[in-house]
Amino acid sequence: MKDVNFLVVGVGGQGTVLAGDIMAEVGMLAGFDSKKSDILGLAIRGGSVISHIRWGEKVHAPMSMNGTVDYLLAFEPLEALRQIENLNSESTVVFNEYKIPPVTVSSGLAEYPDRSVIDSSLEKTAKKVYAFNATEKALEIGAVKTVNVILIGALSSLLDVEVPVWEEAIKKFVPEKYLELNLKAFHTGRDLMKTMK
């Protein structure tokens, strides 16, 4: 098969690293060579967080080259737009609409881009863009921390890997007492995409 390059981006504290861990695990369970590279920086919330995940027959570098991302999973609109140079006309974007303005915006040093600019730029560059408010859905389910698994659920509906494989990977990374909640989050994300296709 052709290599698949994923990029998971968001804001520190949103659970992007765990999302990437689940995706790398799924790659291995599905029989691919699978690699992942995180830019973790400091163990602090609030900075941009980036994880590359690559599935393939034989993966060398753990990060993909510019413009070769097949799927961009963004936890925040500005962070989605920031990755536009990594996309191409075949890329798919799934992003969470919930805005987290950086401190540079609230302190008046910069302006948060208009949603219309984000949408039109991404749509012009990528093949398909899906957006929904995953944070709102997570709060409905009962925990803002499930944003990551809702987004994973959404992404999973675009990929040719069986649901039980995803569930097995989620089980590995989520504490047992939150497993049921996270499986619910996963299916919430999957179901949401059905309404958007």
Partner 1 sequence: MKTILSGNEAFARGAYEAGIQVVTGYPGTPSSEIIATIGKEYSDDIYCEWSTNEKVAMDAAAGAAYSGRRTMVTTKQVGMNVLSDSLLYAVYTGAEAGLVVVTADDPGLFSSQNEQDNRWYSRLAKIPTLEPQDSQEAKDFVVKGIEISEKFDTPVLIRSVMRVSHSKSIVETGARPEVPKEVGKFPRDISKYNCTAMYAKKMHAKVEQRILDIQEWANTSDLNKIEWNKTDIGIITSGVVYTYVKEVFPEASVLRLGMINPIPDKLIREFASKVDKLIVIEELDPVLEEQIKSLGIEVHGKDIFAPCYELLPDRMRDFAAKAGILEEKKTAESEVQELTSKLPTRSPVFCPGCPHRSSFYVMNQLKVPVAGDIGCYNLGSMPPFNAQHTMGAMGASVGVLHGMSLAKIPENRVCTIGDSTFFHSGMPPLVNMVHNGSRGVVVIMDNSTTAMTGHQDHPGMEWQVTKERPARRIEIEPLVRAMGVEKVKTVNAFNVKEVKRGFEECLEYDGPSVLITKGECIFVSRKPKPAFTVNPDKCIACHTCFRVGCPAVVLSDLKYEKNGRFKSSIDPTLCNGCSVCSQVCPVGAIEPPEAGKESLAE
The number of residues in the chain equals: 197
CB of 106 to partner 1, least distance (A): 5
Question: Cα separation of 188 and 147, whole Å?
Answer: 10
Judged by CB, which is closer to partner 1: 115, or 196? Answer: 115
CB of 138 to partner 1, least distance (A): 9
Q: What angle do CA 94, 95, 97 make, to 5 degrees?
A: 145
Strands 48-56 and 33-39: antiparallel
Which one-letter amino acid corresponds to residue 35? K
Judged by CB, which is closer to partner 1: 84, or 193? Answer: 84
CB of 102 to partner 1, least distance (A): 4
Judged by CB, which is closer to partner 1: 30, or 157? Answer: 30
Which spans of this chain sit near partner 1 (rule: CB under 8 A)? 11-13, 21, 24-25, 28, 33-48, 59-63, 65-67, 78-79, 81-82, 84-85, 100-113, 117, 121, 125, 135, 139, 143-145
CB of 19 to partner 1, least distance (A): 13
Longest alpha-carbon distance in the chain: 49
Instruction: Count the helix, strand and coil residues of the chain and give each as a percent rounded to the nearest 5.
Output: 45, 20, 35
Judged by CB, which is closer to partner 1: 145, or 190? Answer: 145
Judged by CB, which is closer to partner 1: 1, or 43? Answer: 43
Question: Cα separation of 65 and 101, whole Å?
Answer: 28
CB neighbours of residue 143 within 10 Å: 13
